[in-house]
Structure formats: C-alpha cells, structure tokens
Amino acid sequence: MTSRNRMQTQRTQRSTSLGFVVAVLSTATVMVVHASLERWLGAWPPWSLFSLAVVLPAVLGGLGPGLLATGLCGLAVFLRSAAARDGALVALFFAFGLAMSWIGERMRRFDRRFGDCTSRLDRLRALEARVTAEVEVLRESEGRFRVLAQASFDPLVLHSEGVILDVNQAFTETFGYGREEVLGTRKELLAPEDFQPLLAERLRSGAETSYEAVLQRKDGSRFVAELRGGNVHVKGRPARATVIRDLTPRRAAESVARWTDELFRQLYDWIPLGMAQADAKDGRLLRVNACYCEITGYSAAELLSKRFSELTHPDDREKDVAGYREAARDGRVYRTEKRYLRKDGSIAWVRVHAFFLRDVRGEISTSTAVIEDITQRKRSEEVLRETQRSTEEALGLLDNLFAYAPLGIALVDTQCRFVRVNESLASMNGASVAEHLGRRVADLVPDLWPLLEDAYRRVLVGERLLNVPLIGETRACPGEVRHWLCNYYPVRDRRAGEIVGIGIVVQDVTDQDRAEEALREADRRKDEFLAMLAHELRNPLAPIKTAVEIQKRVELAEPRLLRSRDVIERQVGHLVRLLDDLLDVSRISRGRITLRKETHELGEIIDQAIESTRPLIDARKHHLDLAPCPEPLHVNVDAARLTQVVANLLNNAAKYTDDGGRIHLGIERGPRNEALIRIKDNGRGIDPKDLPHVFDTFYQSTRTLDRSEGGLGIGLSLVRRLVELHGGRVEAHSDGLGKGSEFVVRLALEEAPMTAPQPPEIPAMGQSRRVLVVDDNIDAAETMAALLETLGHEVSVAHDGEAALEAVSNGHPEIVLLDIGLPRMDGYEVCKRLRDDGTLRPFIVAVTGYGQAEDRDRALEAGFDAHLVKPASFDAIQAVLRAA
C-alpha cells in the first residue's frame, strides 16, 4: 500500500467517525429546535428539520452515520408526537433517510476512487521526471566518456558482443587503422590469428576485466598489451569499454631497471672503495659494503647499529657533522678528508664524497657516500715532506758552507778536472770560478802540480790526507810565495762505493809574520760574511714573520692551522735570536746576552726543545726515552734561551750517536732546591783528555776531525754561557770513547707560581696613515703591505729606488719603510735624495737585514728617522708608526 493510499484510508475512517458524532449531535439539535418552536408549529412534527438531521451525517459519514441519524430522528418523532405515528409518513421518512444514506456512501466511494486516480497521475508524472533526469545524466555521462576517451593516451575500444562500436584517436595512432575501418568489425581483428581464439574465449567467458594478450597492428607488427574492460551503456544498450596499454616500454624499462639494479649491487659490493648509505637526518648507517667494513674494522652487522659520526675521530667530529648537515640542507655534494677510529683503536685517513637522495615528496631522506682509504697516502706525504725538508736544510747548509766558507773548497774528478770550486779557492788560484770548471789542476796551477800529483794519486786509491803543507806561487800573487794547509778526501759513489773524485779543503797559512794581520783580516771578513749571511737569512724571514702577524689578525677556525701558525711564529723567533747571537760572537763570549726571564714550568720548555730537535732524532732513527718529573718544577728563565740550551744538547747527542742509538732525557728535583736536566746517550763518548775543553769556544774534539757532523765548535760553549747567565751550571760526563756521554744542567727552582701566559696584545688601531713600502723582495713587500692594510693604513709598494722616488713624488706618503739593499740605487741614496728635496719630508724608516750597531748608526747619519732589523716585530712596527 502506498503512502497516498494510507492517507486516503485514514481520511475515510476519520470522516466515518465524524459522521456518527454528527448524527447524534444533529438529532439532538433538531429535537432542541423542535421543542423551542413547538408552540408555533403545534403538535405536528417538522419533518423538514429532521430530514436535515439525516442528510448532514449521511453526506459526511456515508451509510452508517446516515442510517443512525434516520433511526434516531424517527424514534424521536414517534416518542414526542402521536400525530407522527402516521404509518405512511414514517415510511416515507425512513425511505428518505435510507436514500440519503445510500447517496452519501456512493459519494464517499466516488471520492476514494477520484483520489486513487489523482495519486496514479502524480506517480506517472514523477516517474516521467525521473526518467527524463536519468536520460539527461546518461547523456552527460556519455559525453564525458567520449571526451575522456579521446583525451586518453591509451587506445580505447567500445564494443558490444565483440563488435567494435567506436575507438578513440590513440587507437588509430597505435594500431594504424582508420576509425571507419574498424567500426562494425569483430574485436578479434586486433589479435594475430594464433591469438584470436584466446581473445574470443576471454570475451565469451566474461573474464575480460584485466588480462594480457598479444595484439597486432595494421602493418602486422605485434606487441604485448594489457587489456582492462568495464561495462558501459551506449544509447541505452549495454556495451563494454576496453582500454589497451602497450606493455613494450614498461617491459623494456623493467628489464633495464633489473639490469641496473644488479649492476649497482655488484658495483656496491665489490668496488674497491668503501660505500655506505645513511639516514640524512640522524646519520645512522643503513647499508655498507665489504670494503667499508675493511676500512673501519667492523662487521656489517656492527656498523648498521652505528651513526657515521661515531666512527669519526673526536678531533674531526664536530667539523665533519657541521659540514655534512650544511651540505644536506643545501642538497649539494659533501667532500672532506677526515680520520676514522677503527675498531682496534688505530686511525685511518679517508676521503669522503657524499651525495643526497630525495624521496617522492622531494625531501632529502638518505645519503650515499664513497669512502677512499688514504692512510698510506697521508703517511707517504708526511714522510715525503719530512724528507724534503731535511734534504733542503742539508743542501742549503752545504751550499752556504760551500759558498761562504773562509776555506778553499773544491771537488775534482778522477781525471783531476775541477767539477765544483768556491770563490775562496778560485781567488787563491788567481782565476774565476768559471775558469776553473772543466779544466785540469795541472793546467790551472802548473807551478804547483809537481807538488800535488803524488797526493792526488794516493787519494784516488782511497787514502785520506790531512793538513798537508803546500808552498808555492799562483797567478793570484805572482812572485809571492804563499803557504797553505791542504786536506784531501776520496769522494765515493754512495751506491757503488767507487771513488769518483777528490774533495779538497785548502787553508791559506802564509808566513808567521803576517799571521796577526791575516787573523784580523779574517775576523773582518768573518763579520762581513756573517752580516751578509744574516742579511740574506733575514730577508726570507721577514715575509714569514709578517705573514704570521697577518694570520693573527684573521680568525682561524681550524685548530691545526692555529698550531701551525704558533709553531712558525715560535721557530721564526728562535731563528731571529740565533742570528743575533751569530752576528756578535764576542758578545756571547763576554756573556752580554740580554735575558727575558719569566717563571715557566720546566716540562713545557723541554717539550719545545724536543719539538725543534725531533726531525734530527727521527732522521738518525734514535730512540728517545723521556723521564718527566712527577711534580711540576718552576724555573725563572728566558724560555727561548733555555730551549736553545736543551736543544743544543739533544742535537749533540743525536749527531754523535750512531744511527739507531738511545737518548735519555730526564728532569728531576735536585737535593739543594734545584732542577736537574739529564741528557744521556750511548754514542761515541768523549775522550778523557777532551772533557775539560768541551765547553771551550771553537774547540773541536778529536772525534770530529772528519767533520762529518759539521759544527763550528760554539754550541757547547754557548750552552755553558747561557746556563751560567741563568745562575746555573752544566756538567759533562763520559767513561771514554765508545761509552756514551751525559750532560747535566742544574738550575735554581722558583717557588712562586708559574706566570700565566698572556695572549699577544693587539694594539688599538690608530689614525690611518699613508705608507710607502720599498723592498726588492716582492714577498716581503707584499706581506708588509698586507699587514699595514689590516691596520687600516693606505699602503703603496715599490721594488727599487727609482720607483720609490716616483711613488713619493706622486703619492706624498707620510711614512716610508725603506729597504737598504735595493738594486741599482741603494736605500742610503734614496734617503739622501728625499732629504735633498726640501718639498718632501716623509718619516723614513730603514727596514734592513743589516742589524749591527754600526749599521744602525750609519742609517741614522744618512737621514733615516728610525732603524728596524728584519724581521721586524709587530710591536716595533706599531711603535714606529705611532712615533711618525
């Protein structure tokens, strides 16, 4: 039953109930009205009123209410009036009531039927509207389907019962058929003959939802395709839509991907480089190869529970993690060299190249690193650097000694032809160095050859001749007889051991009467030589020291660079002070060295001395035993001078101990509140007769007659003088030749606490000045200019005297830092010309390697306002700039 019918039934039931109520009420109402009108109407009943009481219930309620009203009204009339008992009238009334009840019932039935017709009409109209809407939706859906089908990159076939109804543009492009060619044909046309039964079977079985099949284009070419089908309606008829996807590219891509994956796996596992994959967020290792396990010493299972930072050396960890995170944030390749701590505690140097991978959301998720073990390379580089440094030092020392030694030195081959010769010997023979090279000794000094021939012959068979006297004349002094002491050494090939020539050292010892004059002349030449040597050594030291000062004004984040800078600064300082000592040997012998004493911990000074002598000890493969004092020992000393003392003693022990020897260095508290420094070796020892003289200036013991260890004989003398200046004493002990030696230094202990080292004070930057730097050493000039620019000064540079005069004329500098040893026009001449020009009055500072007292006086007399010795300290430069 529909809702509309239910509503109609409920309304009918309500009207019937209402009819019964109305029947009762209308009868009662009519009787009340009749009673009120009875005196005017008389006894005769008003049948018309009672008729109305019947009609109203019959119309509202139908047959039941009408009959009830008729019965009630008839009974009322019969009871109230005798006149109403006329049988004919009563019958007529009841007939009227029955007729009206029947008519009311018919009216009710007609109303119900009319309501049913209206309901059916409404339903038909609703159905029509729904069908119309569904048709419109279907039409829109079909339109969208056609648009999507044409826009699809995959071929699409619309078919019904195997007959093709429509295809899209991608179909015609893929199969090569025109649209009109395939419409109305069977779907099996798209498959080769041997695959058509399979396609038909799939179609009949309804298993066409998704499957793979071999299809054929119009040109006969075949390809594997995936077919996906679904039910659709075309113009109200059921059909199926099948999407065809060519699997050839995907299969090829899958094959390439499998090959690539296998290749990557093989390379990853067997490449002779470490490979590791890590989580980019926390650095946890996700995958490692066998080579990486070998580098770190851990197994793969152990590594997968670690972060890469846990393997990094603690000194490198912070920098490495920071660099890794920065590269991950920027998405760039991360490259570094660092140290790993292996499982066994050893250190491995590695070079790391890490790149980062992004996930499907474009976020960096993992990193893959290639790790190369460069431990051996680092070791080789360190050995090579040490070897090169030692070789350069040795060659430089030999070249300086060869070029500037006050002895005649030469090397001749087995045919007695000059191979090398220094200026001293060339001057003795009265010819230039160039005239010596390649010529026989007999041709160059024919008068002396008869005296030399026997000595040369004996040396060529392996004999060494020392202090051989030679008297004769040379072209250097025609007609003058001169005396020489000659030393001849056989020179052997280091690998074959064969004699390849003769080493010659000649000393001019002309007659005794001229000995004192010759000694004074030699002393003067020595001073000139030392001054020139100091000048030549100060020139390269100046840019080094200036470069260190520049670095001190630049913040260096790398600790190793800071340590390297400090080492360079300290060693340059030592070299400068040693040059000062070398320039004034008489001052050393008189003990007039100025000490800068501070309270230091003795162990720190010992460490610095070991650092400076370590290369020689390692080169001779000695074993150094250290015995530090268990308690700190404080001494009031000049740290650089005491370091020099210990270093000289260590150098002596290293030089006079055969390779592979043992050196013991210990410090201890002595019985009389003194610190003891003991240096003991198992080397060649000291002859008892030489012990009283080992600290004498220029004394050479018999063990160094062949001079294989070199030395001028001032080292131990300097040790004694310096120790005595500190209020201490030094002792030498030895049980004889071949039994080693021991040196003991005794210094007074300082009970006051150690002075805390203060950082270097950087003077506040003052007013900017115009400064001209003049130096023919380009490095020295540029580094000095760079240092002054960091202080805020305006700096210009010139490299010779004429350029300096032009720069002063054009730039009007306030201060001129002028080198003395300039080419063509020296610094004295430049200063004189500037002073002669009354319009130019800059503050002129002499910056030179000539640092003796007479050099300073000469500079001030020449017109210089100040004098600085290379390498000038930063404080001295600042003081001059402030004074200008």
Task: Quickly list DSSP for 692-736.
Answer: GGTTSTT---GGGTT-TT---S-HHHHHHHHHHHTT-EEEEE-SS
- Measure the CA–CA gap between 480 and 475, rounded to whole angstroms: 9
pLDDT above 70 as % of the chain: 75
Specify the residue for token string 């003398």.
717
Pair 26, 69: CB distance under 8 Å: yes
Q: Give the pLDDT of residue 495.
A: 76
Distances (CA, A) of 795 to 266, 788, 792: 62, 7, 9
**Of 409, 330, 318, residue with least CA distance to 367:** 330
**Residue 625 pLDDT grade (very low, low, confident, very high; cuts 50, 70, 90):** very high
The whole-number average pLDDT for the span 516-528 is 65
Contacts of 109 (CB under 8 A, 6+ apart): none
Is-same-fold flag (519-569+764-884; 589-748)?
A: no
| Whole-number average pLDDT of the chain | 78
Q: In this model, does residue 515 exceed pLDDT 90?
A: no
| CATH number for the domain running over 589-748 | 3.30.565.10
Q: Is 172 helix (H, G, I), strand (E, B) or coil?
A: helix
> Among 634, 879, 585, which residue's Cα sits nearest to residue 756?
634
Between 593 and 71, name the one with better pLDDT.
71
User: Where does the pLDDT of residue 220 fall: very low under 50, low under 70, confident under 90, or very high at 90 and above?
Assistant: confident
Give residue-wise pLDDT tens across range 687-697.
888 888 787 76
Fold of the CATH domain 519-569+764-884: Rossmann fold (3.40.50)
| One-letter amino acid of 430 | G
In the three-class reduction of DSSP (H, G, I as helix; E, B as strand; rest coil), residue 278 is classed as strand
CATH topology (fold) of 272-373: Beta-Lactamase (3.30.450)
Long-range contacts of 3-7 (CB under 8 A, 24+ apart): 4/115, 4/119, 4/122, 5/116, 5/119
User: Which of 680 and 812 is assigned the larger pLDDT?
Assistant: 680
Estimate to the nearest angstrom the gap between the alpha carbon of 720 and the chain centroid. 52
What is the SS3 assignment for 826-852?
A: CHHHHHHHHHHCCCCCCEEEEEECCCC
What's the Cα-to-Cα distance from 752 to each of 278, 601, 630, 634, 636, rounded to whole Å? 56, 11, 18, 8, 9
Which of 250-264, 679-693, 798-812 bottoms out in mean pLDDT, i.e. has the lowest?
A: 250-264
Segment of 59-63, 233-237, 580-584, 625-629 carrying the highest mean pLDDT: 625-629
The kind and range of the H/E element at 367 are strand 364-373
Q: What value does the mean pLDDT take over residues 506-516? A: 72
Average pLDDT estimate for 664-681: 91
The residue among 820 and 19 whose pLDDT is bigger is 820
Q: By mean pLDDT, which of 100-114, 451-465, 636-650 is the weakest? A: 100-114
Classify the phi-psi angles of 863: left when phi > 0, otherwise alpha if psi is within -120 to 50, otherwise beta: left
CATH for 405-510 is 3.30.450.20
* Higher pLDDT among residues 156 and 774, named by residue: 774
Separation CA 356–CA 235 (nearest Å): 56
β-pairing verdict for 623-627 and 741-748: unpaired
Q: Rg for the chain (alpha carbons), in Å?
A: 61
Q: How far apart are CA 653 and CA 685, in angstroms?
A: 10
The residue behind tokens 């041997």 is: 194
* CA neighbours closer than 13 Å in the CB half-sphere of residue 598: 12
Q: How high is the pLDDT of residue 9?
A: 60
If you average pLDDT over residues 175-188, what whole number do you get?
82
In which band, very low, low, confident or very high, does the pLDDT at 429 lie, cut at 50, 70 and 90?
confident
Cα–Cα distance measured from residue 391 to residue 412, given in angstroms and rounded to the nearest whole number: 24
No. of H helices and E strands in the chain? 28, 27
DSSP run (H or E) holding 791: none
Across 754-793, the runs of DSSP E, i.e. the strands, are 770-774
Q: Which residues in 740-755 are b (16+ Cβ under 10 Å) and which e? A: bbbbbbbbbebeeebe
Pick the most confident of 14-28, 162-176, 217-231, 622-636. Answer: 622-636
pLDDT of residue 757: 45
What pLDDT score was predicted for residue 678? 94
- Pick from 151-155, 552-556, 770-774 the range whose average pLDDT is largest: 770-774
Among positive and negative, which fits the CA dihedral 587, 589, 590, 596? positive
Q: Quick one: average pLDDT of 604-619? A: 86
Instruction: Tell me the C-alpha to C-alpha distance, in Å, between residue 350 and each of 397, 535, 837.
Output: 37, 44, 64
Q: Name the E strands within 168-289.
A: 210-216, 222-234, 237-246, 274-279, 285-288
Q: Which two tokens stand for residue 430?
A: 């009265």
CA distances from 669 to 600, 601, 641, 746, 814 (A): 15, 13, 21, 10, 57
Helix (H, G, I), strand (E, B) or coil at 814: coil
- CA nearest neighbour of 577 among 553, 600, 560, 593: 593
- Cα separation, 549 vs 543, whole angstroms: 10
* 751 contacts 799 by C-beta, under 8 angstroms: no
Q: What's the pLDDT tens digit per position in 550-578?
A: 766 666 666 776 677 677 766 666 666 56
User: Residue 340 has what pLDDT?
Assistant: 92
- Say how far apart CA 546 and CA 569 lie, in whole Å: 10
Which amino acid, 176?
G
Q: Which long-range contacts (CB under 8 A, 24 or more apart) does 343-347 make?
A: 343/296, 343/297, 343/298, 343/302, 344/297, 346/297, 347/313, 347/375
pLDDT for residue 707 is more than 50: no
What pTM, to 2 d.p., does this model score?
0.32
CA gap 819, 829 in Å, rounded:
11
CB atoms within 10 A of CB 620: 17
Beta strands (DSSP E) in 709-822 are: 729-733, 741-748, 770-774, 794-798, 815-818
Instruction: Note whether 846 and 817 are within 8 A (CB).
Output: no
The C-alpha atoms of residue 703 and residue 738 are separated, in whole angstroms, by 10
Predicted pLDDT of residue 754: 44
> 394: how many CB neighbours lie within 10 A of its CB?
12
Pairing of strands 662-669, 623-627: parallel
Distances (CA, A) of 543 to 13, 169, 849: 124, 80, 12
User: Under CATH, domain 152-246 is a member of which superfamily?
Assistant: PAS domain (3.30.450.20)
If you average pLDDT over residues 637-643, what whole number do you get?
Answer: 87
pLDDT tens digits for 22-41?
767 777 776 777 666 665 65
What count of other Cβ atoms lies within 10 Å of the Cβ of residue 322? 10
Q: Structural domain boundaries of the chain?
A: 3-124, 152-246, 272-373, 405-510, 519-569+764-884, 589-748
Over residues 250-300, the pLDDT tens digits come to: 888 878 878 777 776 777 777 788 888 888 888 889 888 888 898 899 998
Looking at per-residue pLDDT, the higher value among 61 and 644 belongs to 644
Q: How far is CA 162 from the centre of its chain?
A: 67
Using pLDDT thresholds of 50, 70 and 90, give the confidence band for residue 145.
Answer: low
Q: Which residues of 151-189 are buried (b: 16+ CB within 10 A; e: fewer)?
A: eeebbbbbbeeeebbbbbebbbebbebeeeebeeebbbb
Residue for token pair 């201890």:
668
H helix or E strand, kind and range, residue 599: strand 598-601
- The two structure tokens encoding residue 140: 């829109």
Instruction: Give the pLDDT band (50/70/90) at residue 186.
Output: confident
Band the pLDDT of 338: cuts 50, 70, 90.
Answer: very high
**C-alpha torsion sign, points 65, 70, 74, 76:** positive
User: How confident is residue 1, by pLDDT bands cut at 50, 70 and 90?
Assistant: very low
